[in-house]
Chain A
């Protein structure tokens, strides 16, 4: 169960909201904070704390853009994409193992 140990070590993506953020960002690359709010249906404070956790881990970058007015935007980093890939593959392997074992 090395896979399980690996998953438990990843405290960042273990949270479903943070996983949803990176999965939403992956095909888009970058997205506005307000769009994430609308899609995830969370409070601004909640989203901000999850984004800060992802930023601290180096999975996303938070920056300012000029849209209709100055807005906060988020983009996924190479590390974020790589770690998400690893996380999903490990999760899939574990689920396959569990299915085979049953």
Chain B
């Protein structure tokens, strides 16, 4: 009986480490997006470019970060097959995730700037930015969970909830709306990275 217990213990440790690896990949993925955003804010802060800069920066940043995320994604899917925590891995799933981000881009950088809900141009841009992140991450999370929120990765919740909560404030900000939006998105993503790392440690220690 001792042998069975020992083998079970080894098996659980192996499973724990594979789950932890998956969580670390999740953290890396959000870390990349955080870097993309920090670079954006550095450029905005130093060079103060016109609003058209967003149209150039975000598609390039999106393609660059997505190529990295895509590779991480494949590893996550593979680990999910072993740990039993399967995430959407079909081609349809990949297309839907890409569609989530493209829809978010159009919503945040085209539709909202056209409607102009903010008290000024900066407030409108900030609202668009927060909407883009909230919508895209939420839709991606939903696809990953197979459209069942109960299966969703809890670590991702701050990444879309915190930016979404900040939208009503951003709309009415007379000044500093983009800084506010950047802070919220950075905070949400940082919390997601922290939660992923915490979950990884918990999986290793179990």
Which residues of A approach B to under 8 Å, CB–CB? 23, 26-27, 29, 76, 78, 81-82, 84-85, 88-89, 91-92, 95-96, 98-99, 102
Q: How large is the interface on B (under 10, 10 to 19, 20 to 34, 35 or more residues)?
A: 20 to 34
Shortest Cβ gap from A76 to chain B (Å): 7
A-B contact pairs, 13 of them (CB 8 A): A23-B14, A27-B18, A81-B79, A82-B81, A85-B81, A88-B15, A88-B82, A92-B8, A95-B7, A95-B8, A95-B11, A98-B4, A102-B4
B7: chain A residues within 8 A (beta carbon)? 91, 95
Cβ of B5 under 8 Å from chain A: yes
A96: chain B residues within 8 A (beta carbon)? 8
Cβ of B78 under 8 Å from chain A: yes
Task: Give bound CA distance, A26 to B75, whole Å.
Answer: 8
Q: What is the predominant secondary structure among interface residues of chain B facing chain A?
A: helix
Task: Give bound CA distance, A92 to B15, whole Å.
Answer: 10
Q: In the complex, which residue of chain A has the Cβ closest to the Cβ of B86?
A: A85
A98: chain B residues within 8 A (beta carbon)? 4
Q: In the complex the two chains form, is B74's CB within 8 Å of A29's CB?
A: yes
Cβ of B49 under 8 Å from chain A: no
A82: chain B residues within 8 A (beta carbon)? 81
Q: In the complex, which residue of chain B has the Cβ closest to the Cβ of A84?
A: B82
Q: In the complex the two chains form, is B1's CB within 8 Å of A76's CB?
A: no
Partner of A81, one of B5, B21, B22, B81: B81
B22: chain A residues within 8 A (beta carbon)? 27
The residues in B between 56 and 102 inclusive whose CB is less than 8 angstroms from any CB of A are: 74-75, 78-79, 81-84
Q: In the complex the two chains form, is A26's CB within 8 Å of B78's CB?
A: yes
Task: Give bound CA distance, A23 to B82, whole Å.
Answer: 10
Q: In the complex, which residue of chain A has the Cβ closest to the Cβ of B83?
A: A85
Q: In the complex the two chains form, is A29's CB within 8 Å of B75's CB?
A: yes
Q: In the complex the two chains form, is B8's CB within 8 Å of A102's CB?
A: no
Interface centre among A76, A98, A102 (most CB of B within 10 A): A98
Q: In the complex, which residue of chain B has the Cβ closest to the Cβ of A91?
A: B11
Q: In the complex the two chains form, is B78's CB within 8 Å of A29's CB?
A: yes
A78: chain B residues within 8 A (beta carbon)? 78, 81
Shortest Cβ gap from B27 to chain A (Å): 13
A99: chain B residues within 8 A (beta carbon)? 4-5, 8
A23: chain B residues within 8 A (beta carbon)? 14, 18
Are A27 and B4 also in contact (CB < 8 A) when A85-B84, A92-B11 are?
A: no
The residues in B between 1 and 31 inclusive whose CB is less than 8 angstroms from any CB of A are: 1, 4-5, 7-8, 11, 14-15, 17-18, 21-22
Q: In the complex the two chains form, is B11's CB within 8 Å of A81's CB?
A: no
B83: chain A residues within 8 A (beta carbon)? 85
Shortest Cβ gap from B46 to chain A (Å): 37
Are A76 and B78 also in contact (CB < 8 A) when A85-B84, A99-B4 are?
A: yes
